[in-house]
Amino acid sequence: VCCDIPYYNTKQYATSKDFDHNKFWQWCRDMSKKGHTVYISEYNAPDDFTCVWQKSLTNSMNTKITYNSTEKLFKFGN
């Protein structure tokens, strides 16, 4: 399962403003314990998740402001 959730502490849109990150992370734990491999795209994750991939990027969606970020892919456990 690959999840691209609304990133925590970033601008939220109308469709994601009530996203419950804590509930989502628990859902990932539960699905992993049932035998599913769950990958999550986020900047950060709880300590019991492992970063399995990362890449530094330059975000230039705003023509006047650019910033560097590191996109990461996490999974539960080791």
Angle at the Cα of 2 from the Cα atoms of 20 and 27, rounded to 5 degrees: 35
pTM for the whole structure: 0.83
DSSP string across 2-51: EEEPPPTTSPPPTTTTT--HHHHHHHHHHHHHTT---EEEES---TTEEE
Using one digit for the tens of pLDDT, what is the confidence trace for 10-63? 777 787 788 999 999 999 999 999 999 999 999 999 999 999 999 998 877 677
Q: Nearest 5°: phi and psi at 31? A: -65, -40
pLDDT at 59: 75
Task: Pull the structure tokens for residue 67.
Answer: 């910033």
Task: Pull the structure tokens for residue 77.
Answer: 């456990």
